[in-house]
Amino acid sequence: MNPKIIGTITTYPGMSQSDWLWQQTPHNFGKWGNIQMLANHPEPDFLLMYQFDFPRQPKQQSWMDKIRNYRHPQPEIDIREKFRNVPQERIIYLIREPPLAEVIEITKANYEQAKLYCGYISGPDDFAPKPDYMPAIWYHSNSFRELNEMPPPAKTKFCSWITSGVSRTANHRQRLDFIKLLQQQKLDFDLYGRNLPIWAQGNGTVNNKWHAVAPYYYNLAIENYAENDLYVSEKLWDALLAWCLPIYYGGAAADKLLPAGSFLRVPSLDEKGVQFIKEVVANADYWHEAREKIAEARQIILHELNLLNWLSNFESQEIGQ
């Protein structure tokens, strides 16, 4: 039986790769179970709208604009042209970004638009049509087989953190404040990421995330949002897949999805949190104690939480109806 083809559209910049998610399956060309991920296929069986922002309604026009548009009307682009003739019941709309206060109205507007075109609509927030966690994607370039079969790589340093200097929201600014506090308290860790402020003394952007995570026993996995029990991001998956013990700050979704003991929780992003991290990274004892739980969590991420596995299960349910 030929697999069902999953096409994809997104408004994430630069995410138009033909081989998107192919590293998340042991099979060639994006195959997993009864589906095949071919993001740019012209006639897919299913369409995944992944963090897709619908066009916003135009602002109130001036009277001059109205006259101009009346004389020289601009053709409207029908959003359905992007759907490649996939029927509504086979269009999946998944939001992966957190419901930050600064974007919550945009997210709600996207859900309302999605209801017009999509058969399944979900996101990691309570106001989504189907509230649920976002199935796992990860950002290591290693093959699935390598991740699945590898023993722990050599660990030569204690702690790293990959983040960015983004400061658009209050949550982002809280994260930057925590970097400053960690440095004031002389925590020994390596900081990587794009657009970090000069005072952060970061090591710059890494092209391959593996290089900044795998050699460390611990990785700081600090979510941008921790206020519900649905949101969890690749920050946790990437740390565990690199055989790190994550020192995690986030909501309760992680507790539902992963075995107890596979990550440690930062109690707060303040001096209490700094002291907790200092105790953990003083040696490798916590990592050794958690090694079996890390191995268990890695298998759950690879085989169960994997977005390709989720899509395969969705296809089976849809076809079986």
What is the per-residue pLDDT across 37-80, written as a single tens digit (0 to 9) for each?
Answer: 999 999 999 999 999 999 875 554 444 454 445 455 544 568 88
Least confident of 66-75, 127-136, 221-230: 66-75
Amino acid identity of residue 307, one-letter, is L
Q: In the prediction, which pLDDT does 264 show?
A: 98
Specify whether 122 is located in the same domain as 183: no
Specify whether 170 is located in the same domain as 253: yes
* Containing structural domain, residue 74: 4-135+306-320
**Does pLDDT of 261 surpass 60?**
yes
Q: In the prediction, which pLDDT does 142 show?
A: 96
User: What's the rounded Cα separation, in Å, for the pair 248 and 233?
Assistant: 11
Specify whether 21 is located in the same domain as 100: yes
**Does pLDDT of 107 surpass 90?**
yes
Rounded mean pLDDT, 177-205? 93
Please state, for a pLDDT cut of 90, what percent of the chain lies above it. 84
CATH at 131: 3.40.50
Rounded mean pLDDT, 19-24? 95
Number of residues in the chain: 321
User: What's the rounded Cα separation, in Å, for the pair 52 and 83?
Assistant: 12
Specify whether 21 is located in the same domain as 162: no
How do residues 262-276 score in pLDDT, each as one tens digit?
999 999 999 999 999
Q: In the prediction, which pLDDT does 167 show?
A: 86
Specify whether 188 is located in the same domain as 117: no
How do residues 136-154 score in pLDDT, each as one tens digit?
999 999 999 999 999 999 9
**Does pLDDT of 321 surpass 70?**
no
What pTM, to 2 d.p., does this model score? 0.92
Q: In the prediction, which pLDDT does 13 show?
A: 78
For residue 160, give the nearest of 131, 132, 188 by alpha carbon.
188
Specify whether 23 is located in the same domain as 65: yes
Task: Please state the domain count of the chain.
Answer: 2
DSSP result, 106-143: HHHHHHHHHHHH-SEEEESSTTSSEE-PPPB-----S-
Specify whether 131 is located in the same domain as 200: no
Specify whether 313 is located in the same domain as 287: no
Query: 277 or 168: whose pLDDT is higher?
Result: 277
Q: Which residues contact 170 (CB under 8 A, 6 or more apart)?
A: 101, 102
Specify whether 218 is located in the same domain as 91: no
Mean pLDDT (the chain) is 92
CATH at 239: 3.40.50.11660
Least confident of 145-159, 181-195, 294-308: 181-195
Least confident of 4-8, 78-82, 105-109, 175-179: 78-82
Specify whether 130 is located in the same domain as 185: no
Partner residues linked to 222 by β-bridges: 249
User: What's the rounded Cα separation, in Å, for the pair 259 and 309?
Assistant: 19
Rounded mean pLDDT, 280-294? 98
Specify whether 158 is located in the same domain as 56: no
CB 77 within 8 A of CB 58: no
Specify whether 223 is located in the same domain as 315: no
